[in-house]
């Protein structure tokens, strides 16, 4: 079984502490507010058999000074690993709900002593890039502590996960050969290629500048939408047939830019829809 790392983050007041309590009850090794710089060191515990850790949940919030600067790069490094399944859970809520919660608890917002709504908006803006990295996105506006707890237990109880179809969204490069184990194969070589942009050539689809370049293309957005719609239709049918594993291969020329970014986006989309999906990148280092 691949070790599982759950990183819980999101807006202050949206239920991060409640979520961590659920993961602790589910048997995860939990650490609150671990500095981002220490996460790679923490991951080494999975490699030490004596630790007995196979599932861990870490919470990271905006109080972490270098959070916004270091988190995306650290996340990309974790997702490149084939020996670790990393899931980012992002919690948020409406401004009104967050303001009400701060009023009820009488706690100050971590970004300052000013108006709560201004602090909420500032935090929301700061976390835009982090939110885009989330595999699972939960809006807790209508949740109570109890309903959020029930939802998380249903979604992440190991027994429930075991019954789900394991979906792998695999990026690859056509010049390195087609994956033989693919159940579905999508070709994205018709999309704008970051390889021909000098400042992007040495980066990958995990890097923000490449993602921003692709996001600026209407063709990329439409392709992702159509692929996602098809998979939303097909995955329940695979589950109905009792298929345990489904591999969706997404290929570009070299397997380092377009296919990587699109595989990540589609995996996050499927997770938000309640499926159990992960992205993997066969040719990222070639």
Where does the pLDDT of residue 67 fall: very low under 50, low under 70, confident under 90, or very high at 90 and above? Answer: low
Q: How many CA atoms lie within 13 A of 272 on its CB side?
A: 17
Cα dihedral 274, 261, 57, 13, rounded to 10, equals -80
Instruction: Tell me which of 134-138, 187-191, 260-264 is least confident.
Output: 134-138
User: How far apart are the C-alpha atoms of 32 and 120, rounded to whole Å?
Assistant: 21
- If one compares 242 and 229, the residue with the highest pLDDT of the two is 229
What's the confidence (pLDDT) of residue 200? Answer: 96
β-bridge partners, 10: 91
pLDDT tens digits, one per residue of 80-119: 888 888 999 999 988 888 888 877 766 777 766 667 788 8
β-bridge partners, 16: none
Residue 161 above 60 pLDDT?
Answer: no
Q: What is the CA radius of gyration of the chain?
A: 19
- Look up the pTM and report it: 0.67
On whether the CB atoms of residues 68 and 95 are closer than 8 A, the answer is no
What's the confidence (pLDDT) of residue 109? Answer: 72
Delimit the domains of the chain by residue range: 4-161, 165-281
Q: Which residues are CB-neighbours of 29 under 8 A, at least 6 positions away?
A: 45, 53, 55, 56, 57
Helix H or strand E encompassing 270: helix 258-272
User: Would you state the CATH architecture of domain 4-161?
Assistant: 3-Layer(aba) Sandwich (3.40)
What's the confidence (pLDDT) of residue 190? Answer: 97
């Amino acid at each position: 079984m691949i070790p599982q790392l759950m990183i819980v983050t999101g807006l202050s007041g949206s239920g991060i502490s409640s979520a961590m309590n659920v993961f602790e009850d589910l048997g995860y090794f939990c650490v609150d507010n671990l500095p981002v710089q220490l996460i790679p060191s923490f991951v080494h515990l999975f490699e030490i058999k004596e630790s007995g850790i196979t599932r861990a949940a870490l919470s990271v919030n905006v109080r972490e000074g270098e959070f916004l600067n270091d988190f995306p790069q650290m996340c990309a490094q974790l997702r490149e690993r084939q020996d670790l399944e990393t899931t980012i859970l992002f919690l948020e809520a409406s401004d009104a709900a967050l303001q009400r919660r701060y009023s009820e608890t009488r706690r100050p917002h971590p970004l300052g002593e000013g108006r709560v709504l201004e602090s909420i908006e500032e935090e929301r803006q700061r976390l835009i890039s982090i939110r885009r990295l989330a595999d699972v996105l939960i809006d807790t506006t209508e949740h109570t502590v109890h309903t959020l707890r029930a939802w998380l237990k249903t979604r992440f109880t190991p027994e429930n996960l075991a019954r789900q179809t394991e979906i792998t969204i695999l990026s690859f490069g056509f010049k390195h050969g087609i994956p033989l184990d693919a159940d579905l194969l999508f070709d994205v070589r018709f999309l704008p290629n970051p390889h021909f942009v000098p400042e992007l050539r040495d980066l990958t689809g995990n890097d923000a500048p490449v993602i921003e370049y692709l996001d600026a293309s209407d063709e990329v957005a439409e392709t992702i939408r159509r692929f996602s719609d098809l998979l939303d239709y097909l995955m329940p049918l695979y589950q109905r047939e009792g298929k345990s594993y489904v591999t969706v291969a997404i290929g570009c020329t070299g397997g380092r830019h377009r296919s990587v970014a699109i595989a990540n986006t589609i995996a996050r989309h499927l997770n938000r829809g309640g499926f159990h999906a992960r992205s993997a990148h066969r040719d990222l280092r070639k």
